[in-house]
């Protein structure tokens, strides 16, 4: 049987007992990067045969794994971090198993996309996962054009060396005011959640070098801004923000969390909320 085993995306303590048991008892482990997986196995005290399975050898390696499973062996598939077969060459191995009527099971665990969505202040009732944006400018432009009218929260992965181009394209296509949550180092010491408009986020990274793998969570489009019933009129906005801020603080919210919630509930950026409170409260 093929076991799809989710591994930690940062904190090694997130590995499940079932995942540990499967890695220890299987015949061998198919890994995206055997050196990376070896570090995990060493931390868990597991000694197991590792074979390479990645984008550049998936056809040949996949056939060998299929042959072994057809002969009755149990194989665990892991990726560098998180869930194999999600925006990952493992999806081709799963397809190969199904095409040959071979059993596949999953040992669930950490997932960067879902974790980032949980950490972001946007709707999780309806969302879509878009994977990595294309590297070519034209294809990347088309990628974000498909999100212009997407009302669901969109989740996107990006590498640090490509982040600036991706943000610039997203800003150009989706607009300065579209809000985004950038999440990195999930479950690690320097876990960071940066929520603001595409304009503010893009300008920030013009002077701050991106480091680490990023998950971009993009707020869904609104059909008609005129339908945003929760947006207060100009003459009422200061009173609304002031009253809500005082209410949240009295209920135990930190200043930062109170401003974030007010921004989300009223379709404002945190900078706008901060400026309003600074003017109101001094």
Question: pLDDT digit string (tens) for 203-215?
Answer: 999 888 888 889 9
Q: What topology does CATH give the domain 2-110? A: Cobalt-precorrin-4 Transmethylase; domain 1 (3.40.1010)
> What pLDDT, in 10s, does the model give residues 213-236?
899 999 999 875 434 444 444 446
**Superfamily for the 113-218 domain:** Tetrapyrrole methylase, C-terminal domain (3.30.950.10)
- The conformation of residue 12, written as its DSSP 8-state character, comes to G
**Beta strand pairing status for 2-5 and 214-218?**
unpaired
What's the confidence (pLDDT) of residue 230?
A: 47
Residue 120 CA: distances (Å) to CA of 17, 45, 98, 173, 203? 28, 35, 35, 22, 20
| CA atoms of 40 and 78, how far apart (whole Å) | 11
H or E stretch covering 152 = none
106 φ, ψ to 5°? -125, 140
Match 């990195």 to its residue by tokens: 184
> Model confidence over 41-87: pLDDT tens digits?
999 999 999 999 999 999 999 999 999 999 999 999 999 999 999 98
Q: Are 214 and 182 in contact (CB under 8 A)?
A: yes
């Amino acid at each position: 049987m093929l076991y799809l085993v989710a591994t930690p995306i940062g904190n090694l303590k997130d590995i499940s007992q079932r995942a540990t048991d499967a890695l220890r008892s299987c015949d061998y482990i198919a890994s995206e990067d055997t050196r990376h997986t070896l570090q995990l196995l060493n931390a868990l005290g597991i000694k197991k045969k590792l074979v390479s399975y990645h984008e550049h050898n998936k056809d040949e390696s996949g056939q060998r794994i299929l042959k072994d499973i057809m002969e009755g062996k149990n194989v665990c598939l892991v990726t560098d971090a998180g869930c194999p077969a999600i925006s990952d060459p493992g999806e081709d191995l799963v397809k190969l198993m199904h095409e040959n009527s071979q059993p596949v099971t999953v040992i669930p665990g950490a997932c960067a996309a879902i974790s980032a969505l949980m950490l972001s202040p946007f709707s999780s009732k309806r969302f879509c996962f878009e994977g990595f944006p294309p590297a070519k400018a034209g294809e990347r432009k088309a990628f974000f054009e498909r999100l212009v009218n997407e009302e669901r929260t969109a989740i996107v992965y990006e590498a640090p060396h490509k982040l600036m181009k991706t943000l610039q394209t997203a800003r150009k296509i989706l607009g300065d005011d579209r809000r985004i949550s950038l999440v990195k180092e999930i479950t690690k010491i320097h876990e960071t959640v940066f929520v603001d408009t595409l304009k503010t986020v893009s300008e920030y990274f013009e002077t701050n070098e991106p480091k680490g793998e990023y998950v971009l969570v993009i707020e869904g489009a609104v059909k008609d801004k005129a339908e945003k019933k929760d947006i207060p009129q100009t003459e009422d906005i200061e009173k609304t923000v002031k009253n809500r801020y005082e209410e949240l603080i009295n209920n135990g919210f930190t200043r930062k969390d109170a401003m974030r919630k007010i921004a989300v509930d009223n379709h404002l950026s945190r900078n706008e909320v901060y400026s309003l409170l600074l003017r109101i409260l001094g």
